[in-house]
Structure 1
Amino acid sequence: MTKKVNIMTDADAAAVNNAISARLKGYRSEKKLSLDELSRRAGVSKGMLVEIEACRANPSIALLCRLAAAMGVSVADIVDVASQPPVHMIPPDAMPVLWQGERGGTARLLAGTSGSNMVELWHWQLFPGERFSSPGHPRETTELLHVTAGTLELKVDDEIFYIAAGCSVVAATEAPHSYACAGDTPLAFTMTVHEKAH
């Protein structure tokens, strides 16, 4: 039996990178931030910012989180899937894949609110042997995770938790953390991230 995996094409990656480049330039201009100032605030090299704005770099989720926090916006704002009340429908082809694992796993940003006090909705799929690691989010960030298939290995600092299909977990994720597929079957989970403005 052949397993179908959702692989991000070069065209998909280029579209996401173009959106990130345009939005990053727009927010920098709107907030009157030089490359040097954004580099200082986000702890990201100026050279990397130049590469991102020129669409020559594929920024990680962790890097997007740092840039968003430094500019007082959400990751959803940067990739242009932020809600615009009262109702903003986002079609499937506008939900960007922002991480892809070596075996075909993906992290797709489904929707998010605008601004620094943000909420994001994600869908993750990891295959056996895949892991995603994060250096941690700003203080008081909370993630709600619900496992729909497989078993999630959630590591926060040095503690490891196993969450089976059908179970949910609430995690404070300002510390370094990771998600991994535990076992021999693919893992799927939805995640809501709430980051307070500081």
Structure 2
Amino acid sequence: MSDLDQLTQSLARNLKHWRGERGFTLDALASRAGVSRGMIIQIEQARTNPSVGTTVKLADALGVSITTLLDQDQSAKVRVVGPAGTVRMWSTDAGSSSTLLVGTERRGPLEMWEWWLMPGEGSESDPHPPGTVEMLNVREGTLTLVANGAEHPVPAGSSAVFEAHVAHGYRNDGTEPVRMTMCVSVPPVP
């Protein structure tokens, strides 16, 4: 079985599990996530590979991290995740990418990401649930963080923290690659 097939199977199994755990019908989850009922059925039957945006919407609606939806095993008290266990969520031909390094469900979803943004590229995100906080540290280049329409330059060696319940995005307006590490903390579903 290929890595993509394993990822698709894990997502199908975990989405179905967490939907049941939360007591959500297909229609309730579709409404909360803004994702069609048909798409959720296809994902739960491992017949499709959803976009990053769709996966984020489902995780947010369930109050779990993307890691929880994608991981094959979350049972260990100590979990070491090597390079082969990380999940590349998106990439471009120019070399931009985001990779989910590790995450947990303890006290609400918490995720750690590594991002590369090549010059002239960027990524936008829909608002996350209220109480969601993102923290990032730029290791190379200068990031343009856009939160609720306002632009904030974050140069190498600097960090930023913001409430991510508003539309936000990340851009590289410079001439050298941006490399950053980001943590996302989502409050637990009440």
TM-score by length of 1: 0.84
Residues 150 and 138 of structure 1: is their aligned pair in 2 closer, same or farther, counting only changes over 3 Å? Answer: same
Residues 13 and 107 of structure 1: is their aligned pair in 2 closer, same or farther, counting only changes over 3 Å? Answer: farther
| Larger mean Cα displacement after TM superposition, 97-106 or 183-192 | 97-106
- Alpha-carbon distance between aligned partners in 2 of 1:81 and 1:176, rounded to the nearest angstrom: 30
Q: Does 1:138 align with 2:129?
A: yes
Q: Contact 1:121–1:191 at 8 Å: present in 2 too? A: yes
- Alpha-carbon distance between aligned partners in 2 of 1:103 and 1:16, rounded to the nearest angstrom: 24
Amino acid of the structure 1 residue aligned with 2:96: G
In structure 1, the residue matched to 2:38 is 47
What RMSD over aligned residues (CA atoms) do the two structures have, in Å? 2.2
In structure 1, the residue matched to 2:10 is 19
**Ranges in structure 1 where 5+ consecutive residues have no aligned partner:** 1-10
How far apart are 1:182 and its partner, in Å?
2.1
Residues 81 and 141 of structure 1: is their aligned pair in 2 closer, same or farther, counting only changes over 3 Å? Answer: farther
1:178 alignment partner, SS class: strand
Q: Contact 1:101–1:126 at 8 Å: present in 2 too? A: no
How far apart are 1:31 and its partner, in Å?
4.3
**Ranges in structure 2 where 5+ consecutive residues have no aligned partner:** none
Paired residues in the alignment total: 188
- Alpha-carbon distance between aligned partners in 2 of 1:183 and 1:171, rounded to the nearest angstrom: 22
2:64 alignment partner, SS class: coil
Amino acid of the structure 2 residue aligned with 1:76: T
State the identity as a percent. Answer: 35
In structure 1, the residue matched to 2:88 is 97
- Alpha-carbon distance between aligned partners in 1 of 2:99 and 2:151, rounded to the nearest angstrom: 24
- Alpha-carbon distance between aligned partners in 1 of 2:157 and 2:72, rounded to the nearest angstrom: 27
In structure 2, the residue matched to 1:7 is none
Residues 86 and 143 of structure 1: is their aligned pair in 2 closer, same or farther, counting only changes over 3 Å? Answer: same
Residues 81 and 104 of structure 1: is their aligned pair in 2 closer, same or farther, counting only changes over 3 Å? Answer: farther
Cα shift readout 1:58-116 (whole Å, capped 9, x = no counterpart): 32333223212332322111011786563111121111011223523111111111267
| Larger mean Cα displacement after TM superposition, 168-177 or 29-38 | 29-38
In structure 1, the residue matched to 2:52 is 61
TM-score by length of 2: 0.87
| Larger mean Cα displacement after TM superposition, 129-138 or 109-118 | 109-118
- Alpha-carbon distance between aligned partners in 2 of 1:185 and 1:116, rounded to the nearest angstrom: 37
